[in-house]
A and B are shown apart, each in its own frame.
Chain A
Protein backbone atom coordinates (compact mmCIF):
# COMPACT_ATOMS: atom_id res chain seq x y z
CA UNK A 1 0.00 0.00 0.00
CA UNK A 2 1.37 3.38 -0.99
CA UNK A 3 1.84 5.87 1.83
CA UNK A 4 3.35 8.68 -0.22
CA UNK A 5 2.44 12.07 1.21
CA UNK A 6 0.41 14.00 -1.30
CA UNK A 7 1.85 17.35 -2.41
CA UNK A 8 -0.66 20.14 -2.15
CA UNK A 9 -0.68 23.72 -3.34
CA UNK A 10 -2.37 26.63 -1.61
CA UNK A 11 -4.98 28.63 -3.45
CA UNK A 12 -6.15 32.11 -2.44
CA UNK A 13 -9.35 32.66 -4.33
CA UNK A 14 -11.17 35.98 -4.61
CA UNK A 15 -14.73 35.62 -3.33
CA UNK A 16 -17.54 38.10 -3.70
CA UNK A 17 -21.30 37.76 -3.60
CA UNK A 18 -23.62 40.60 -4.63
CA UNK A 19 -25.02 40.99 -1.12
CA UNK A 20 -21.61 41.26 0.53
CA UNK A 21 -20.13 44.60 1.50
CA UNK A 22 -16.58 43.61 0.74
CA UNK A 23 -14.83 40.98 -1.33
CA UNK A 24 -12.60 38.56 0.53
CA UNK A 25 -10.00 35.87 -0.20
CA UNK A 26 -10.66 32.26 0.68
CA UNK A 27 -7.88 29.74 1.16
CA UNK A 28 -8.00 26.21 -0.21
CA UNK A 29 -5.50 23.35 -0.31
CA UNK A 30 -5.56 21.61 -3.64
CA UNK A 31 -3.70 18.41 -4.50
CA UNK A 32 -0.84 19.06 -6.88
CA UNK A 33 -0.93 17.21 -10.19
CA UNK A 34 1.67 17.89 -12.80
CA UNK A 35 -0.86 17.90 -15.62
CA UNK A 36 -3.37 20.15 -13.84
CA UNK A 37 -4.09 23.71 -14.81
CA UNK A 38 -5.60 26.39 -12.57
CA UNK A 39 -9.03 25.59 -14.00
CA UNK A 40 -8.67 21.94 -12.85
CA UNK A 41 -7.92 23.22 -9.37
CA UNK A 42 -11.00 25.46 -9.42
CA UNK A 43 -13.09 22.50 -10.57
CA UNK A 44 -11.60 20.41 -7.77
CA UNK A 45 -12.56 23.07 -5.23
CA UNK A 46 -16.06 23.37 -6.64
CA UNK A 47 -16.63 19.60 -6.83
CA UNK A 48 -15.16 18.55 -3.50
CA UNK A 49 -14.72 21.52 -1.15
CA UNK A 50 -16.99 24.43 -1.89
CA UNK A 51 -19.82 24.19 -4.41
CA UNK A 52 -20.58 27.90 -4.17
CA UNK A 53 -17.41 29.01 -5.96
CA UNK A 54 -18.49 30.65 -9.21
CA UNK A 55 -16.44 31.08 -12.39
CA UNK A 56 -16.85 30.73 -16.15
CA UNK A 57 -15.37 28.06 -18.33
CA UNK A 58 -16.36 25.85 -21.21
CA UNK A 59 -13.90 24.35 -23.67
CA UNK A 60 -10.93 23.69 -21.38
CA UNK A 61 -8.65 24.07 -24.38
CA UNK A 62 -8.02 27.76 -24.99
CA UNK A 63 -10.74 28.18 -27.59
CA UNK A 64 -13.88 29.56 -25.98
CA UNK A 65 -12.19 32.45 -24.18
CA UNK A 66 -14.42 32.26 -21.12
CA UNK A 67 -12.00 31.19 -18.37
CA UNK A 68 -9.82 34.30 -18.07
CA UNK A 69 -8.75 35.38 -14.58
CA UNK A 70 -5.86 37.10 -12.84
CA UNK A 71 -3.43 34.39 -11.77
CA UNK A 72 -0.88 35.81 -9.36
CA UNK A 73 -1.67 39.24 -10.74
CA UNK A 74 -1.37 38.41 -14.45
CA UNK A 75 -4.30 37.92 -16.84
CA UNK A 76 -4.33 34.27 -17.92
CA UNK A 77 -6.63 31.68 -19.40
CA UNK A 78 -7.01 29.45 -16.34
CA UNK A 79 -7.25 26.43 -18.65
CA UNK A 80 -3.77 27.19 -19.97
CA UNK A 81 -2.03 28.08 -16.68
CA UNK A 82 -0.25 24.95 -15.42
CA UNK A 83 0.12 24.54 -11.67
CA UNK A 84 3.71 23.45 -12.25
CA UNK A 85 4.56 27.01 -13.32
CA UNK A 86 3.52 28.30 -9.91
CA UNK A 87 5.00 25.71 -7.59
CA UNK A 88 5.39 25.73 -4.65
CA UNK A 89 2.61 28.31 -4.57
CA UNK A 90 0.52 29.92 -3.29
CA UNK A 91 -1.60 30.75 -6.32
CA UNK A 92 -3.88 33.75 -6.06
CA UNK A 93 -6.85 33.70 -8.44
CA UNK A 94 -8.87 36.88 -8.94
CA UNK A 95 -11.37 38.09 -11.52
CA UNK A 96 -9.99 40.03 -14.49
CA UNK A 97 -9.33 43.62 -13.46
CA UNK A 98 -10.91 46.59 -15.25
CA UNK A 99 -14.31 44.89 -15.22
CA UNK A 100 -17.16 44.87 -12.76
CA UNK A 101 -17.23 41.72 -10.68
CA UNK A 102 -20.66 40.16 -10.38
CA UNK A 103 -19.78 37.15 -8.28
CA UNK A 104 -16.47 35.51 -7.34
CA UNK A 105 -14.48 35.23 -10.57
CA UNK A 106 -17.36 36.21 -12.86
CA UNK A 107 -17.09 39.64 -14.43
CA UNK A 108 -19.67 41.62 -16.35
CA UNK A 109 -18.79 41.92 -20.03
CA UNK A 110 -21.74 44.01 -21.20
CA UNK A 111 -19.59 47.12 -21.68
CA UNK A 112 -17.26 45.16 -23.89
CA UNK A 113 -20.12 43.73 -25.94
CA UNK A 114 -21.36 47.26 -26.66
CA UNK A 115 -17.90 48.39 -27.72
CA UNK A 116 -17.49 45.32 -29.90
CA UNK A 117 -20.80 45.96 -31.62
CA UNK A 118 -19.90 49.62 -32.15
CA UNK A 119 -17.04 48.69 -34.52
CA UNK A 120 -19.36 46.49 -36.61
CA UNK A 121 -17.12 43.42 -36.65
CA UNK A 122 -18.67 41.77 -39.66
CA UNK A 123 -18.29 42.05 -43.42
CA UNK A 124 -20.15 45.09 -44.68
CA UNK A 125 -20.97 45.35 -48.38
CA UNK A 126 -22.03 48.60 -49.95
CA UNK A 127 -24.61 46.68 -51.95
CA UNK A 128 -25.87 44.98 -48.78
CA UNK A 129 -25.32 41.71 -50.62
CA UNK A 130 -24.23 39.65 -47.61
CA UNK A 131 -27.86 39.26 -46.64
CA UNK A 132 -28.70 36.86 -49.43
CA UNK A 133 -26.00 34.36 -48.37
CA UNK A 134 -25.61 33.36 -52.01
CA UNK A 135 -22.87 35.71 -53.12
CA UNK A 136 -19.34 34.45 -53.17
CA UNK A 137 -16.39 36.76 -52.63
CA UNK A 138 -13.06 35.39 -53.67
CA UNK A 139 -9.89 36.13 -51.78
CA UNK A 140 -6.32 35.08 -52.46
CA UNK A 141 -4.21 33.46 -49.71
CA UNK A 142 -2.09 36.63 -49.55
CA UNK A 143 -5.17 38.80 -49.04
CA UNK A 144 -6.30 36.43 -46.31
CA UNK A 145 -2.89 36.51 -44.66
CA UNK A 146 -3.09 40.31 -44.36
CA UNK A 147 -5.74 40.12 -41.62
CA UNK A 148 -5.52 36.51 -40.44
CA UNK A 149 -3.59 37.27 -37.24
CA UNK A 150 -6.22 39.78 -36.12
CA UNK A 151 -9.00 37.30 -36.76
CA UNK A 152 -7.73 34.81 -34.16
CA UNK A 153 -9.31 36.67 -31.23
CA UNK A 154 -11.40 34.53 -28.86
CA UNK A 155 -12.80 37.50 -26.89
CA UNK A 156 -11.14 36.31 -23.69
CA UNK A 157 -10.60 39.95 -22.59
CA UNK A 158 -7.19 39.29 -21.06
CA UNK A 159 -5.97 42.28 -23.10
CA UNK A 160 -8.45 44.61 -21.38
CA UNK A 161 -7.24 43.40 -17.98
CA UNK A 162 -3.66 44.21 -19.00
CA UNK A 163 -4.43 47.68 -20.35
CA UNK A 164 -3.82 50.69 -18.07
CA UNK A 165 -5.83 52.90 -20.43
CA UNK A 166 -8.88 50.63 -20.07
CA UNK A 167 -8.29 50.86 -16.36
CA UNK A 168 -8.80 54.61 -16.36
CA UNK A 169 -11.30 55.08 -19.15
CA UNK A 170 -14.64 53.33 -19.30
CA UNK A 171 -15.17 54.65 -22.79
CA UNK A 172 -11.93 53.47 -24.44
CA UNK A 173 -12.98 50.94 -27.07
CA UNK A 174 -9.97 48.87 -26.13
CA UNK A 175 -7.57 46.37 -27.66
CA UNK A 176 -9.69 43.43 -28.83
CA UNK A 177 -12.53 45.47 -30.36
CA UNK A 178 -10.10 47.80 -32.17
CA UNK A 179 -8.08 44.81 -33.42
CA UNK A 180 -11.28 43.31 -34.80
CA UNK A 181 -12.18 46.60 -36.47
CA UNK A 182 -8.77 46.51 -38.14
CA UNK A 183 -9.33 42.87 -39.06
CA UNK A 184 -12.45 43.76 -41.05
CA UNK A 185 -10.95 46.95 -42.48
CA UNK A 186 -8.11 44.86 -43.92
CA UNK A 187 -10.44 42.24 -45.38
CA UNK A 188 -10.68 42.67 -49.15
CA UNK A 189 -14.29 41.44 -49.10
CA UNK A 190 -15.31 44.24 -46.74
CA UNK A 191 -16.48 47.69 -47.80
CA UNK A 192 -17.23 49.08 -44.34
CA UNK A 193 -14.13 51.19 -43.67
CA UNK A 194 -16.14 54.42 -43.93
CA UNK A 195 -18.84 53.12 -41.59
CA UNK A 196 -16.29 52.19 -38.92
CA UNK A 197 -14.28 55.36 -39.42
CA UNK A 198 -15.98 57.64 -36.88
CA UNK A 199 -15.95 55.08 -34.08
CA UNK A 200 -12.33 54.11 -34.59
CA UNK A 201 -11.07 57.68 -34.98
CA UNK A 202 -13.03 59.26 -32.13
CA UNK A 203 -11.18 60.23 -28.95
CA UNK A 204 -12.04 56.94 -27.26
CA UNK A 205 -10.81 54.98 -30.27
CA UNK A 206 -7.29 54.33 -31.48
CA UNK A 207 -5.88 57.68 -30.38
CA UNK A 208 -6.53 56.97 -26.71
CA UNK A 209 -4.05 54.09 -26.87
CA UNK A 210 -0.61 55.10 -25.56
CA UNK A 211 1.09 51.94 -26.84
CA UNK A 212 1.84 50.29 -23.52
CA UNK A 213 1.79 47.04 -25.49
CA UNK A 214 0.91 44.75 -22.59
CA UNK A 215 -2.29 43.66 -24.38
CA UNK A 216 -0.15 41.93 -26.99
CA UNK A 217 2.10 40.43 -24.33
CA UNK A 218 -0.79 38.68 -22.55
CA UNK A 219 -2.83 37.66 -25.62
CA UNK A 220 -3.03 33.86 -25.71
CA UNK A 221 -3.76 33.88 -29.45
CA UNK A 222 -0.91 36.20 -30.51
CA UNK A 223 -3.40 38.61 -32.02
CA UNK A 224 -1.12 41.61 -31.30
CA UNK A 225 -3.91 44.11 -30.67
CA UNK A 226 -1.31 46.81 -29.91
CA UNK A 227 0.11 46.31 -33.40
CA UNK A 228 -3.37 46.43 -34.94
CA UNK A 229 -4.07 49.75 -33.20
CA UNK A 230 -0.75 51.34 -34.22
CA UNK A 231 -1.30 50.21 -37.82
CA UNK A 232 -4.77 51.75 -37.70
CA UNK A 233 -3.20 54.97 -36.39
CA UNK A 234 -0.80 54.97 -39.32
CA UNK A 235 -3.67 54.48 -41.78
CA UNK A 236 -5.71 57.14 -39.94
CA UNK A 237 -2.88 59.68 -40.13
CA UNK A 238 -2.25 59.05 -43.84
CA UNK A 239 -5.99 59.29 -44.47
CA UNK A 240 -6.14 62.60 -42.57
CA UNK A 241 -3.43 64.18 -44.73
CA UNK A 242 -4.92 62.74 -47.89
CA UNK A 243 -8.25 64.38 -47.07
CA UNK A 244 -6.47 67.61 -46.26
CA UNK A 245 -4.09 67.78 -49.20
CA UNK A 246 -5.86 65.77 -51.88
CA UNK A 247 -9.58 66.06 -51.09
CA UNK A 248 -10.49 65.12 -54.66
CA UNK A 249 -9.21 61.55 -54.03
CA UNK A 250 -11.74 61.01 -51.24
CA UNK A 251 -15.03 59.34 -52.11
CA UNK A 252 -17.91 61.41 -50.77
Chain B
Protein backbone atom coordinates (compact mmCIF):
# COMPACT_ATOMS: atom_id res chain seq x y z
CA UNK B 1 0.00 0.00 0.00
CA UNK B 2 3.03 2.26 0.43
CA UNK B 3 2.57 5.57 -1.38
CA UNK B 4 -0.62 4.45 -3.10
CA UNK B 5 -3.13 7.26 -3.61
CA UNK B 6 -6.23 6.11 -1.83
CA UNK B 7 -8.39 9.10 -2.45
CA UNK B 8 -8.81 11.46 -5.32
CA UNK B 9 -10.94 14.16 -3.78
CA UNK B 10 -13.27 16.45 -5.68
CA UNK B 11 -13.52 20.07 -4.60
CA UNK B 12 -16.89 21.74 -4.51
CA UNK B 13 -17.17 25.46 -3.85
CA UNK B 14 -19.85 28.13 -3.84
CA UNK B 15 -18.34 29.39 -7.10
CA UNK B 16 -18.27 32.93 -8.48
CA UNK B 17 -22.04 33.13 -8.60
CA UNK B 18 -22.21 32.67 -4.83
CA UNK B 19 -24.12 35.92 -4.38
CA UNK B 20 -27.04 34.62 -6.44
CA UNK B 21 -27.47 31.59 -4.23
CA UNK B 22 -29.16 33.07 -1.17
CA UNK B 23 -31.08 36.29 -0.48
CA UNK B 24 -28.70 37.02 2.41
CA UNK B 25 -25.70 36.72 0.06
CA UNK B 26 -27.41 38.98 -2.49
CA UNK B 27 -27.99 41.63 0.16
CA UNK B 28 -24.30 41.59 1.16
CA UNK B 29 -23.32 41.80 -2.50
CA UNK B 30 -25.55 44.86 -2.95
CA UNK B 31 -24.16 46.38 0.26
CA UNK B 32 -20.60 46.02 -1.04
CA UNK B 33 -21.53 47.13 -4.59
CA UNK B 34 -23.00 50.31 -3.15
CA UNK B 35 -19.45 51.50 -2.43
CA UNK B 36 -18.85 51.91 -6.16
CA UNK B 37 -21.81 54.24 -6.54
CA UNK B 38 -20.84 56.20 -3.44
CA UNK B 39 -17.26 56.55 -4.69
CA UNK B 40 -18.50 57.92 -8.05
CA UNK B 41 -20.76 60.39 -6.23
CA UNK B 42 -17.79 61.61 -4.19
CA UNK B 43 -15.88 62.25 -7.42
CA UNK B 44 -18.89 64.10 -8.89
CA UNK B 45 -19.03 66.36 -5.83
CA UNK B 46 -15.29 67.03 -5.96
CA UNK B 47 -15.59 68.00 -9.62
CA UNK B 48 -18.55 70.22 -8.69
CA UNK B 49 -16.40 72.04 -6.12
CA UNK B 50 -13.68 72.47 -8.70
CA UNK B 51 -16.16 73.80 -11.28
CA UNK B 52 -17.50 76.31 -8.76
CA UNK B 53 -14.21 78.15 -9.10
CA UNK B 54 -14.36 78.14 -12.92
CA UNK B 55 -16.16 80.59 -15.26
CA UNK B 56 -19.96 80.59 -14.84
CA UNK B 57 -20.56 78.93 -18.22
CA UNK B 58 -18.38 75.97 -17.26
CA UNK B 59 -20.16 75.63 -13.96
CA UNK B 60 -23.55 75.78 -15.65
CA UNK B 61 -22.52 73.18 -18.23
CA UNK B 62 -21.52 70.83 -15.43
CA UNK B 63 -24.83 71.42 -13.63
CA UNK B 64 -26.67 70.62 -16.87
CA UNK B 65 -24.66 67.42 -17.15
CA UNK B 66 -25.62 66.45 -13.58
CA UNK B 67 -29.28 67.09 -14.40
CA UNK B 68 -29.47 65.09 -17.61
CA UNK B 69 -31.99 62.24 -17.37
CA UNK B 70 -29.34 59.49 -17.31
CA UNK B 71 -27.53 61.19 -14.44
CA UNK B 72 -30.77 61.71 -12.54
CA UNK B 73 -31.42 57.97 -12.73
CA UNK B 74 -27.86 57.43 -11.52
CA UNK B 75 -28.43 59.79 -8.56
CA UNK B 76 -31.63 57.98 -7.60
CA UNK B 77 -29.89 54.59 -7.74
CA UNK B 78 -26.98 56.04 -5.74
CA UNK B 79 -29.20 57.36 -2.98
CA UNK B 80 -30.97 53.98 -2.77
CA UNK B 81 -27.57 52.28 -2.43
CA UNK B 82 -26.40 54.86 0.12
CA UNK B 83 -29.51 54.23 2.23
CA UNK B 84 -29.05 50.46 1.98
CA UNK B 85 -25.38 50.72 2.92
CA UNK B 86 -26.05 53.02 5.85
CA UNK B 87 -28.96 50.99 7.16
CA UNK B 88 -27.20 47.62 6.95
CA UNK B 89 -23.89 48.98 8.23
CA UNK B 90 -25.41 50.70 11.27
CA UNK B 91 -27.20 47.47 12.16
CA UNK B 92 -23.93 45.53 12.11
CA UNK B 93 -22.27 47.62 14.82
CA UNK B 94 -23.43 45.50 17.80
CA UNK B 95 -21.59 42.51 16.31
CA UNK B 96 -18.42 44.57 15.97
CA UNK B 97 -18.29 46.12 19.43
CA UNK B 98 -18.83 44.08 22.57
CA UNK B 99 -19.36 46.51 25.42
CA UNK B 100 -19.95 44.86 28.77
CA UNK B 101 -21.54 46.53 31.73
CA UNK B 102 -21.71 44.55 34.99
CA UNK B 103 -20.71 41.41 33.13
CA UNK B 104 -23.46 41.65 30.52
CA UNK B 105 -23.24 42.83 26.97
CA UNK B 106 -25.26 45.97 26.47
CA UNK B 107 -28.28 45.52 24.16
CA UNK B 108 -27.56 46.09 20.47
CA UNK B 109 -30.24 48.77 20.29
CA UNK B 110 -28.14 51.03 22.52
CA UNK B 111 -25.43 50.99 19.88
CA UNK B 112 -27.68 51.16 16.84
CA UNK B 113 -30.12 53.87 17.96
CA UNK B 114 -27.51 56.65 18.54
CA UNK B 115 -26.18 56.14 15.01
CA UNK B 116 -29.61 56.58 13.47
CA UNK B 117 -30.19 59.54 15.81
CA UNK B 118 -26.92 61.19 14.75
CA UNK B 119 -27.74 60.48 11.11
CA UNK B 120 -31.13 62.20 11.46
CA UNK B 121 -29.58 65.22 13.20
CA UNK B 122 -26.80 65.65 10.61
CA UNK B 123 -29.27 65.22 7.74
CA UNK B 124 -31.57 67.80 9.36
CA UNK B 125 -28.69 70.27 9.76
CA UNK B 126 -27.63 69.87 6.14
CA UNK B 127 -31.19 70.35 4.87
CA UNK B 128 -31.59 73.43 7.09
CA UNK B 129 -28.29 74.84 5.85
CA UNK B 130 -29.15 74.24 2.19
CA UNK B 131 -32.55 75.82 2.76
CA UNK B 132 -30.96 78.81 4.55
CA UNK B 133 -28.39 79.32 1.80
CA UNK B 134 -31.12 78.97 -0.84
CA UNK B 135 -33.37 81.48 0.93
CA UNK B 136 -30.55 83.96 1.59
Q: Is A66 an interface residue (CB 8 A)?
A: no
User: Are B25 and A214 within 8 A (Cβ)?
Assistant: yes
Q: Is B62 an interface residue (CB 8 A)?
A: no
User: Are B15 and A100 within 8 A (Cβ)?
Assistant: no
User: Are B100 and A98 within 8 A (Cβ)?
Assistant: no
**Which residues of chain B in 1-50 are interfacial with respect to chain A, using CB atoms and an 8 Å cutoff?**
6-16, 18-19, 21-22, 24-25, 28, 32
CB-CB under 8 A from B32, the residues of chain A are 210
User: Are A213 and B28 within 8 A (Cβ)?
Assistant: yes
User: Are A216 and B95 within 8 A (Cβ)?
Assistant: yes
Interface size on A, residues (CB 8 A): 36
Name the residue on A nearest B100 (C-beta).
A146
CB-CB under 8 A from B104, the residues of chain A are 145
Q: How far is the CA of A24 from the CA of B66 in the complex (A)?
A: 55
Q: Is A227 an interface residue (CB 8 A)?
A: yes
Name the residue on B nearest A147 (C-beta).
B98
- The answer to whether A95 and B12 touch (CB under 8 A), given A141-B103, A213-B92, A227-B95, is yes
B113 to chain A minimum Cβ distance, whole angstroms, is 19
Which of A101, A141, A146, A213 contacts B12, CB < 8 Å?
A: A101
Interface size on B, residues (CB 8 A): 28
Q: Is B96 an interface residue (CB 8 A)?
A: yes
- The answer to whether A100 and B11 touch (CB under 8 A), given A73-B21, A167-B18, A214-B25, is yes
Q: Is B120 an interface residue (CB 8 A)?
A: no
CB-CB under 8 A from B15, the residues of chain A are 167
Q: How far is the CA of A238 from the CA of B8 in the complex (A)?
A: 45
Name the residue on A nearest B96 (C-beta).
A230
Q: How far is the CA of A231 from the CA of B96 in the complex (A)?
A: 5
A selection of 30 A-B contacts at a CB cut-off of 8 Å is A18-B7, A18-B9, A23-B10, A73-B21, A95-B12, A97-B12, A98-B13, A99-B12, A100-B11, A101-B9, A101-B10, A101-B11, A101-B12, A102-B9, A108-B9, A142-B100, A164-B14, A164-B25, A168-B13, A210-B28, A211-B28, A212-B28, A213-B95, A214-B25, A224-B95, A227-B96, A227-B98, A230-B92, A230-B95, A234-B97
